[in-house]
Amino acid sequence: MRTASARRYLMCPPAHFAVTYSINPWMDPAKPVDLQLALAQWEDLVARQRSLGHTVELLEPDPALPDMVFAANGALVVDGRVLGARFAYPQRSGEATAQRRWFRAHGFTDYHLPEHVNEGEGDFAVTRSWILAGRGFRSSPESHAEAQEYLGRPVIGLDLVDPRFYHLDTALCVLDDSTDTDVMYYPAAFSPGSRDVLARLFPDAVLAAEEDALALGLNAVSDGRHVLLPQGAAGLAAPLRARGFEPIPMDLTELLKGGGSVKCCTLELRD
């Protein structure tokens, strides 16, 4: 059986969540959002995280920023150091400023204002020794070197090639960050060379089928034992259990309309 470790997360209520523009293939302004259902689903996620012993800090939502619920995109925190985000699209740029204010108000004094486009944990995933970094649709390749220089950890670049998986956290999930071995990912989201790199680094990875990847099943959060993931990704349950993890399905169907799920809502504060 795997061992869970207590985590600290930053999350933002979807009080103003709406799909009023389209900056990824999942977003369709013609499909209305049920805001009360989105809030209820998000609150269930927060309650589940807290029931597992994790701390959830709250970021105040801004009515001008409907995507703020996807807090993971606003920063990357490693060893108490905060690499801020620089969003690719102007519709989300204000989120980086809101998160920067939160970090400074809550004692995170080591904050780096980035020069290059990166979208936080949307495109950065942390293992014990490495930072896996996505590029191709949002974060720029230059942001990888910037992250490595600031955070002092090796950064491994991975090329995303399917626009449906526009962030790394839609195509890959680190299951246990106390190791360099436990991940799950969807191979077809990556270029052939990046698939070869992943296969070499993680020969025993859980490989997601297209059906589970399209349910955003890889947009998941793990504490080393419990894996919170979208309920539509039912095919991932058995391989996760076979490796000693406990999958916990979550219903975030309303937030999926914005192109995000469990992980997009959850920024880990590694302090």
Do the strands 226-230 and 75-78 form a parallel or antiparallel pair, or are they unpaired?
unpaired
86 vs 226: CA distance, rounded Å: 31
Whether residue 112 lies in the annotated active site: no
Catalytic member of 12, 54, 144, 167:
167
Per the CB < 8 A criterion, the answer to whether 168 and 175 are in contact is no
Distance, CA of 181 to CA of 128 (rounded, Å): 9
CB 76 within 8 A of CB 123: no
Residue 140 Rama label (left phi>0; alpha psi -120 to 50; beta): beta
Q: CA–CA separation, 167 vs 161, rounded Å?
A: 10
Q: Is 264 a catalytic residue?
A: yes
Identified catalytic residue from 12, 54, 144, 264:
264
3-state secondary structure of 66: coil
Q: Which residues have a catalytic role annotated? A: 167, 264
